[in-house]
Structure 1
Amino acid sequence: MRQHLAWLLTAAAVLTAAPTAPTAPTARPAHCPRLTGNWYGDNRARLQRVVDAYGTCSGHTGAVAAFDWDDTVTRNDTTDATLSWVLRHDRLPRPARWKDTSPWLTGAADRALTSACGTGAGALLATSSRPRCTDEIVEIREHGTTMSGAPAFAGRWNHRRTVPRYAWVSPLFAGRTPADLASYARAARREALAAPVGATRTLGTHTVPAYVRYYDRQRDLIATLHRAGFRVYVVSAGVEPVTEAWSRAAGVDAAHTLAIRPVLDRRGRITVRTEGCGGVPDGRGTVIPYIDGKRCLLDEEVYGVRGAAAWHRQPRERRPALAAGDADTDVTFVGDATGAHLVINRNKPELMCRAYDDADGRWLVNPMFLAPLPPRSTPYPCSTTAYTAPDGTPGPVRRADGSVLPDQPDAVY
């Protein structure tokens, strides 16, 4: 008993201090689940401290861990892989009007899609034989522009709650059911996992990744967290039936997979509307799990916070112990974590500014586990433009006390 108490006090002290280089492990009870695999630097040791301190090794259960999905647990985007499969197999329903697919779709995009793809509900788009149609859809999804370079979306939206090109994917399947979309995702999954690492394919004139891989170390981390009594969630800006088709193989079931949820009609078919959050009603993509929207969804679904309060940082007991992400869309919920903020380095400016500033000593940066990116050639512009305001204006990244972060060099790659 005395040895166990001494170990608990040691673990608590480690978590309240800034992380240091790994030291020889203290005695641990035999039931402590252990991480395996190679991580960058001392990241595995630091993650293990969180597992030990918040889990069954310290007599606790029910702590929350939350992971972004695409390019955090997998290499490459599973929603894009599904859309690629759908476009090559003519599974997208043709809308009556392309304008119906997004409240922000521009006239230029409407004309480009109408010319390349046609209109008139009731038929499937022949995208496999109409490369112009495929090109317009892929260009709008990837870059938010038409093939001619015109903006595909315009108007006003909260840039920390949604992004139109992400919100646009779910309405493309209006008229289909979640089961249909899940079946497409499963077919895409089989194909992408079978493709060799590095494989690409052509969609229209676009070259896109043909493969997806689960990161073994992330799957091991998730399994270890489960063994330690954590509740593990995925929170993604993908479409929920797609993310669910992939997440279960990483040990996260549908009940713990949170993503963009299409509103269904009376017959259970997907509509152009998506579910709201934080007092914002269901709408046409007004809020999705994007930046602050990921916090909102976790607050509502995991902690039962309702109304506008779900947009705000909660007390420590209503925040994840560990959170992991790879992009600016993850910066809010990853920053909320109380034990460790795990960042997969994909050179995304706001997230990397927060990670390298390491204000609370709990940020862990890890290179991508497969085909990592080279270091950024110039420092991240933390002091000037790395932050995106709700109105879309770029600005400096600020700490909780209002001070501006200095520019940060890329150091982990």
Structure 2
Amino acid sequence: MRLPRTLVTGLLAAAALATTVPATAAGQAPAAPRAACPQLDTSLKWYGDNRAKLQRMIDERGSCSGHDGPRPVAAFDWDNTVVKNDISDATLAWALQHDKILQPKSWRDTSPWLTTAADRALTKACGTTVPAGHPLPTAGNTACTDEIMEIRGEAKTMSGAEAFEGDWNHRRTVPEYAWVPQLFAGLKPGTLSSYARQARAENLAAPIGTEQTVGTHKLAGYIRYYPQQKDLIRTLKAAGFDVYIVSASAETVAEAWSSGVGVDARHTIGVRSIVRDGRLSTGIRGCGDVKDGHGEVIPYIDGKRCWINQEIFKIKGADAWRKQDPAHRITLGGGDADTDVTFVNDATGAHLAVNRNKTELMCRGYDNADGRWVVNPMFIDPLPRKTGAYPCATEGRTRPDGGLAPLRRPDGSIVPDQQDRIHG
């Protein structure tokens, strides 16, 4: 139902005024216009005036703004953005501790970039006595579990050899990220979903601060939904936003978690494994003009833009890699790492950056070129101030070949080095 013209005029005037006055004054806006928009929970703590900034954006772009046209879109990364800690790590750890990884025909088949050294290390540690397609006894085989965890976490074998080699676009994929879904090849999608839900239950029940040991590797043993992000997603949806999750985790795993913030499977985008004969394979769906393959593109840095353009805005082919006009871009983007910087920077209304000291994202956030960046410390166990400046002017951007280059603004000027100003 459309609002009366007088009320719309008042709302637009209030929104315009809010963008030119301090946050404290914005909080004193007349009750009637503010009541027209769903409100963020004022009992939940945000840094500084970040809640007020986000509320203004919701008021300006949401259903109470009086604007006609398509619903605005918000997109969030998942790990360490909507939740504390990593659901891929949690699911893989659970699977290893419960003997749920299946023996591949050959470890080399799991990734096109796996090195001979990694293949040999995995074959030696995990053995060859278990037939292909049967569960590996990883719960009792520390050596096998350690090789898998080290390759996943450090892209190296336990002896320090490189686990991946060859050519890939470093702004579209990273082999050790793609390798996690590939490790679940042979399972039915519903089976992996069941494993993810069981890992979810264990990690949500564990006290904050819990660590777990997988093989000899220590990692976080708990996960929590951030109340602030859960509330933000609730408020955005109430204000008419279409809310999506865009994650570099396996899509099946992400779907097992996203319902906890009211986001359904249709609005959850992750690494899409190709299903053959009812079972997950090592193949991974492509994006844009990149054909299906084995992980040449996943939702990672520029890959997240491609998936958003393709799946949300229905932009096909090579155009899916390009920054679109404002009408075909998200309104709010939220992320915590350089893996998120492209799509978060594409947002037209607000760029929410959760500070985990990641150079390219924080350089964009602190430079704040369009005045719409919202930088916030992690909501649980935030990091202290980073020592030294972010090297934005020399090593602020990851190139497609993996090298580092100066970070530039849209006008070509170089972003100067930035100090860490918003932290725990």
TM bucket (normalised to shorter chain) is over 0.9
Shift of 1:387: 1.1
- Aligned residue among 248, 252, 255 for 2:263: 252
Shift of 1:325: 0.1
- How many angstroms apart in 2 are the aligned matches of 1:228 and 1:69? 21
CA contact (8 A) 1:162 1:289 kept: yes
1:3-402 mapped onto 2 (5 Å cutoff): 3-12=7-16, 14=18, 20-23=22-25, 24-27=27-30, 28=33, 30-36=35-41, 37-60=44-67, 62-119=71-128, 120-265=131-276, 267-402=277-412
Shift of 1:59: 2.8
Normalising to structure 2: TM-score of the pair?
0.94
CA contact (8 A) 2:133 2:186 kept: no
**Counterpart of 1:303 in 2: which secondary structure?**
coil
- How many angstroms apart in 1 are the aligned matches of 2:254 and 2:285? 16
**Counterpart of 1:226 in 2: which secondary structure?**
helix
- How many angstroms apart in 2 are the aligned matches of 1:304 and 1:293? 15
Shift of 1:12: 4.1
CA contact (8 A) 1:343 1:364 kept: yes
The amino acid of 1:261's aligned partner reads R
Deviation per CA, 1:261-309, whole angstroms, max 9, x where unpaired?
Answer: 00011x2111110000011110000000000000000001100000000
CA contact (8 A) 1:4 1:29 kept: no
- How many angstroms apart in 1 are the aligned matches of 2:364 and 2:63? 30
Gaps of 5+ in 1: none
Shift of 1:13: 5.8
Shift of 1:174: 1.0
- How many angstroms apart in 1 are the aligned matches of 2:412 and 2:14? 33
- How many angstroms apart in 2 are the aligned matches of 1:13 and 1:268? 56
Of residues 216-225 and 54-63 in structure 1, the stretch that sits farther from structure 2 once superposed is 54-63
- Aligned residue among 403, 409, 413 for 2:419: 409
- How many angstroms apart in 1 are the aligned matches of 2:411 and 2:360? 17
The amino acid of 2:364's aligned partner reads R
Count of aligned pairs between the two proteins: 410
The amino acid of 2:199's aligned partner reads A
- How many angstroms apart in 1 are the aligned matches of 2:127 and 2:66? 61
Identity percentage of aligned residues: 57
Shift of 1:222: 0.2
- How many angstroms apart in 2 are the aligned matches of 1:2 and 1:124? 67
CA contact (8 A) 1:199 1:211 kept: yes
Deviation per CA, 1:324-381, whole angstroms, max 9, x where unpaired?
Answer: 0000000000000000000000000000000000000000100000000011011001
- How many angstroms apart in 2 are the aligned matches of 1:29 and 1:197? 36
The amino acid of 1:190's aligned partner reads A
- How many angstroms apart in 1 are the aligned matches of 2:83 and 2:374? 18
CA contact (8 A) 1:7 1:26 kept: no
Shift of 1:41: 0.4
Runs of 4+ with >3 A deviation: 1-4, 12-15, 19-22
- How many angstroms apart in 1 are the aligned matches of 2:357 and 2:407? 15
Deviation per CA, 1:42-98, whole angstroms, max 9, x where unpaired?
Answer: 000000011111111113461100000000000000111010100000000010100
The amino acid of 1:39's aligned partner reads W
**Counterpart of 2:90 in 1: which secondary structure?**
helix
- How many angstroms apart in 2 are the aligned matches of 1:132 and 1:314? 48
Gaps of 5+ in 2: none
Shift of 1:109: 0.5
CA contact (8 A) 2:244 2:263 kept: yes
**Counterpart of 1:272 in 2: which secondary structure?**
strand
CA gap 1:20/1:100 in 2 versus in 1, 3 angstroms: farther
**Counterpart of 2:395 in 1: which secondary structure?**
coil
- How many angstroms apart in 2 are the aligned matches of 1:165 and 1:280? 19
Shift of 1:173: 1.0
CA contact (8 A) 2:178 2:298 kept: yes
**Counterpart of 1:343 in 2: which secondary structure?**
strand
CA RMSD of aligned residues (A): 1.3
CA contact (8 A) 1:98 1:113 kept: yes
